[in-house]
Amino acid sequence: MKAIIKKLVPLGLRRTIRRWRAAASIFTVSFFSKSFFLSRLYYFLFNREFDREFRSVLAGRLVHLTFQGEGVYALRRNIHRLEKGLLMQPRKKVFGEHFIEDTVEYLRIASAKQFACADEIKWATDVLDLYFSVVGSTEKIARAQRLYDAFRKDLKNDIDGAYSPYEFQSIQKPNIHKDQLDILFKARRSVRWYEDRTIPKDLVIESAEIAAQAPSACNRLPYRFVFVEDKARIASIAPLANGTAGFAQNIPFLVVVVGDLSAYEEEKDRHLIYIDSSLASMQFMLALEVRGLSSCPINWPDMSMSERKIKEALKLGYHEKVIMLISVGFAVSTGGIAYSQKKKRGTIIEEFSG
């Protein structure tokens, strides 16, 4: 259609139409952006781009409230809050009182229904053991402890070591010179041309696992890395992201980063799937780099058709959002790399002086 219009309408007229359209857009947007009411009206009347997001956030809340809420994410968040209470300086005599009963109940259900993995159960029990050994007693805390004691002995906890707060000085310090780290950051470039070689999957698994060391709000880790290795599948999924034109067929290993909106009870936290998974994705790409593998993050535009197709292909729920794709492979040594000039201190730093 576009090609036909291009042929029929002279260039001068097309330019004039483009200018009118731009002016009309500026007029409309400046009018409707004046207030909450008008912007709502705009997105109700003229533009339904946010509909899917509204539905996904609600679908996430529903899963949280009806299933996960009793399970992993709420448990992870509360255990994290207890850890913060334990390491508080000075530590309060009584803390976590208003959520300790919920926390114990979440653990009971998560272990009974096997929502939580062995590591999560270990972390929760180690922290709860410590908590109950140091916290002052109140009616609520005593009630929570009775509930905990009733099922604590049935929890499998055969993993070595303590999964509870420790001192900073016990952290193993890396032996990396800052210059080496700087070189690594500069060596990681978006690589789009890969050798036709099998990718050692264990290296990608290791990279994903170490990437999960990234910070995550309330330590929920509301994302996962979905590996797509089948060539035909990659060839059908990669082009759904617009930015793969020309190299979609050259991707030997594709990772789809998926965020899980069921991690949250409230809308205010909905952006954390993007923040947490992006922090982990960066670590993932650097971890790949030191293992000899190159990568390219690929934008996942929020478009209904692509979302429907990828959700069907990967069997994702409505509460799950694709955050980005990451192609992985061995770089062709003569393959081109964009210069991609970076911002420096004059443009990346603002020294705020009031």
Ligand X SMILES: Cc1cc2nc3c(=O)[nH]c(=O)nc-3n(C[C@H](O)[C@H](O)[C@H](O)COP(=O)(O)O)c2cc1C
Residues at the contact surface with ligand X, assessed by CB under 6 A: 189-190, 192, 241, 243, 296-299, 324, 338, 340
C-beta of 63 vs 285, nearer to ligand X: 285
C-beta of 116 vs 324, nearer to ligand X: 324
- Taking the complex as a whole, the smallest distance from the CB of residue 278 to ligand X amounts, in Å, to 7
- Taking the complex as a whole, the smallest distance from the CB of residue 149 to ligand X amounts, in Å, to 48
Distance CA 235, CA 108 (A): 44
Distance CA 252, CA 296 (A): 12
- Taking the complex as a whole, the smallest distance from the CB of residue 186 to ligand X amounts, in Å, to 9
C-beta of 103 vs 295, nearer to ligand X: 295
CB atoms within 10 A of CB 289: 18
Distance CA 214, CA 219 (A): 9
- Taking the complex as a whole, the smallest distance from the CB of residue 286 to ligand X amounts, in Å, to 12
- Taking the complex as a whole, the smallest distance from the CB of residue 340 to ligand X amounts, in Å, to 3
Q: Cα dist. 229→224, 253, 310 in Å?
A: 16, 5, 15
Closest CA to 223 of 283, 164, 305: 283
- Taking the complex as a whole, the smallest distance from the CB of residue 297 to ligand X amounts, in Å, to 4
SS (HEC) of 254-321: EEEEEEEHHHCCCHHHCCHHHHHHHHHHHHHHHHHHHCCCEEEEEECCCCHHHHHHHHHHHCCCCCEE
C-beta of 222 vs 297, nearer to ligand X: 297
Strands 223-228 and 253-260, by their bridges, are antiparallel
Residue whose beta carbon is closest to ligand X: 243
C-beta of 172 vs 334, nearer to ligand X: 334
- Taking the complex as a whole, the smallest distance from the CB of residue 322 to ligand X amounts, in Å, to 12
C-beta of 241 vs 322, nearer to ligand X: 241
C-beta of 200 vs 239, nearer to ligand X: 239
Contacts of 302 (CB under 8 A, 6+ apart): 49, 52, 53
Closest CA to 71 of 266, 213, 220, 217: 220
